[in-house]
Structure 1
């Protein structure tokens, strides 16, 4: 059996993170995202943006590793006010203690091996270190796999919906929220 782990990303991981995003989005979001959006992932700028995200102060990028392969990643940090505000713009009392899971992707061929749970647990621990008490994330309304994953982790839709305009179509996303005391069961 291969060794599995999660660690914080370094600059050297940017290319693999970009590759995982390309492969995963093309598999999971085919028909949801436009061809133009998917084609933009082939740009050299994608790797540069991931290198910048890894170095961004306040946020943490984690990677999941199995054997010698990077198989997934998660981005977490303090939640921007827009991500925790209600539909009317009001902020909850715990807005300053809320973290954001900005992305969590596992390459499809490595799915169902616990990598997503390990990534979420590591990100949640990092958010707690930053003073967060709960987390939020956004999931496309039609993404049953992601919604199911977060529900199993105890995160649920809170009734807030946003619509993203890709220029070619609109995507509805649900905001999910949950506790950061995530514990893995062996």
Structure 2
């Protein structure tokens, strides 16, 4: 399967919302209640991404993975809260493309794109999401001991922060 990565265009944002909605429902189905998983809608997430991108496009990067004419995944990254640190805020693959190299291609691209933001990068992952944690750990990310509780829908969820030194990645995400 051939995947092409490119900067997102404004007309990608509704599709990004739809993909985000489906990716979240698939990845978190064993972790969250049905009410939390169905919070919002694909259209609402498209509107949310449109608004977010409008305000953050000057200092963030939104990349899409396309297979043929199909949106297969996306990443969103920018400056982190800590000095000299970038943050991978989102990486999502369409459920039909999970395990087919889309996530890996997006991660490799994101690691290079994060270098201008600092010496290291962080991301947040749901503590119970063993599949995502394994993916990140294979790519060289490690938990740094920081946690937070953030809502998904109205459900509070424990998240762990992972960190990676930039420019020295190993592993095989």
Which residue in the other structure is 2:135 paired with?
149
Match of 1:101 among 61, 77, 88: 88
Provide, for residues 114-133 of structure 1, a one-character-per-residue CA deviation record: whole Å limited to 9, x for no partner.
2112212222222213x422
CA contact (8 A) 1:121 1:184 kept: no
Which residue in the other structure is 1:76 paired with?
77
Q: CA deviation at 1:64?
A: 0.9
The separation in 2 between residues aligned to 1:68 and 1:183, in whole angstroms, is: 32
Secondary structure of 1:32's counterpart equals coil
Larger radius of gyration: 1
CA contact (8 A) 2:144 2:161 kept: yes
Instruction: Indicate the RMSD between aligned Cα atoms, in angstroms.
Output: 2.2
CA contact (8 A) 1:24 1:108 kept: yes
TM-score by length of 2: 0.86
TM-score by length of 1: 0.81
Going from structure 1 to structure 2, the CA distance change for 1:22 and 1:43 (only over 3 Å counts) comes to closer
The separation in 1 between residues aligned to 2:152 and 2:14, in whole angstroms, is: 25
Secondary structure of 1:44's counterpart equals helix
CA contact (8 A) 1:106 1:115 kept: yes
Going from structure 1 to structure 2, the CA distance change for 1:54 and 1:122 (only over 3 Å counts) comes to farther
Q: Which is worse superposed, 16-25 or 120-129?
A: 120-129
Q: CA deviation at 1:31?
A: 4.5
What 5-or-longer segments of structure 1 have no aligned partner?
81-94
What 5-or-longer segments of structure 2 have no aligned partner?
none
Which residue in the other structure is 2:64 paired with?
63
Going from structure 1 to structure 2, the CA distance change for 1:152 and 1:39 (only over 3 Å counts) comes to same
Which residue in the other structure is 2:22 paired with?
23
Going from structure 1 to structure 2, the CA distance change for 1:19 and 1:43 (only over 3 Å counts) comes to closer
Secondary structure of 2:118's counterpart equals coil
Question: Do residues 139 (structure 1) and 138 (structure 2) align?
Answer: no
Which residue in the other structure is 1:163 paired with?
149
Going from structure 1 to structure 2, the CA distance change for 1:184 and 1:7 (only over 3 Å counts) comes to farther
Which residue in the other structure is 2:43 paired with?
44
Secondary structure of 1:50's counterpart equals helix
Which residue in the other structure is 1:90 paired with?
none
